[in-house]
């Protein structure tokens, strides 16, 4: 908590003194009763706006908003209407905001390494020095050791392979982040292909979260019983 408070103070100074913007990323939209230690975007937005950054302008973005609502928030953020965007990983792809140079990720151990690599790519999109701060809800040596790979690995494919070796494949298209293989289309030797497919899927969900404009794909998802796909 001491480090988080220091990070908040530093973010405030950076935003006020340099007119830069920041992302604060949470893994969940709503709080979970079963995982109470993991921060959720809606709760954090209210807490940060009222108790931490009352002097700054905050916005909220997550996958349950309509496409129009999401586009409005992003446009306003890009135009400097907000200082901080509290969000879920819906910002992972397709976001280009040069003034955003700071990202703070909560419960970073719950994200795949390749996903964290993709998220941190949302900052550093200008000549200004950028920063990505990772906070964990589990301060275990295993979780921290796994995240240390982000300091040295250069590509998403390399990080995906490291994650596979450390945690196992899990449900690439589901909620479980590690465990037994449930992938039916590709093999885990095709890590680059899997990563590209995941990024393209994120782009589709960002543009049309219900796949309403892609009825054939929506039917294939339904008939394939891929019921655990979530845009966030």
Residues 66-110: tens digit of each pLDDT: 999 999 999 999 999 999 999 999 998 878 899 999 999 999 988
Higher local confidence (pLDDT), 91 or 221: 91
Residue-level length of the chain:
232
CB 64 within 8 A of CB 90: no
Q: Average pLDDT, stretch 195-217?
A: 78
Query: What's the pLDDT at 175?
Result: 42
Instruction: Say whether domain 2-151 belongs to CATH 3.40.50.300.
Output: yes
Q: Is the pLDDT of residue 208 over 70?
A: yes
pTM equals 0.72
Question: What angle, 0 to 180 degrees and rounded to 10, lies between the N-to-C axes of helices 191-207 and 156-167?
Answer: 110
Q: How confident is the model at residue 228 (pLDDT cuts 50, 70, 90)?
A: very low
Res 58 pLDDT > 90? yes
DSSP per residue over 97-156, as a string? -TTEEEEEETTGGGS-HHHHHHHHTTS--SSS--EEEE--S---HHHHHHHGGGGT--SH
Give the mean pLDDT of 103-129.
88
User: Is the model's pLDDT at 231 over the cut of 70?
Assistant: no
Q: What is the DSSP letter of 89?
A: G
Q: d(Cα 106, Cα 223) in Å, to the nearest integer?
A: 35
23: number of CA atoms within 13 Å, CB side? 35
Cα(170)–Cα(178) distance, rounded to whole angstroms?
Answer: 4
Beta bridge partners of 23: 85, 103
pLDDT of residue 28: 92
Q: What is the mean pLDDT of the chain?
A: 82
Domain residue ranges of the chain, discontinuous segments joined by +: 2-151, 156-223
The pLDDT score that the predictor gives to residue 106 is: 95
User: Which own/partner contact pairs does 184-189 have at CB distance under 8 Å and 24+ positions apart?
Assistant: 188/164
């Amino acid at each position: 908590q001491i480090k988080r408070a220091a990070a908040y103070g530093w973010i405030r100074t950076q935003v006020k003194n340099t007119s830069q913007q920041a992302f604060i990323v949470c893994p969940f939209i709503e709080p979970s009763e079963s995982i109470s230690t993991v921060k959720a975007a809606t709760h954090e937005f209210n807490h940060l706006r009222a108790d931490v950054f009352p002097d700054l302008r905050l916005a909220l973005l997550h996958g349950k908003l309509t496409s129009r609502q999401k586009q409005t928030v992003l446009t306003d953020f890009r135009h400097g209407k907000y200082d901080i965007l509290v969000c879920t990983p819906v910002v992972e792809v397709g976001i280009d905001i040069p003034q955003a140079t700071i990202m703070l990720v909560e419960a970073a151990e719950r994200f795949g390494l390749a996903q964290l690599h993709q998220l941190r790519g949302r900052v550093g999109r200008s000549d200004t020095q950028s920063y990505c701060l990772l906070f964990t809800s589990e301060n275990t040596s295993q979780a921290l050791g796994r995240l240390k790979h982000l300091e040295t690995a250069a590509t998403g494919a390399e990080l995906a392979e490291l994650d596979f070796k450390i945690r196992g494949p899990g449900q690439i298209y589901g909620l479980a982040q590690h465990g037994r293989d449930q992938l039916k289309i590709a093999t885990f030797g095709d890590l680059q292909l899997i990563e590209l497919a995941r990024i393209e899927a994120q782009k589709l969900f960002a543009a049309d979260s219900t796949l309403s404009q892609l009825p054939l794909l929506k039917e294939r998802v339904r008939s394939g019983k891929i019921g655990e796909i979530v845009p966030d």
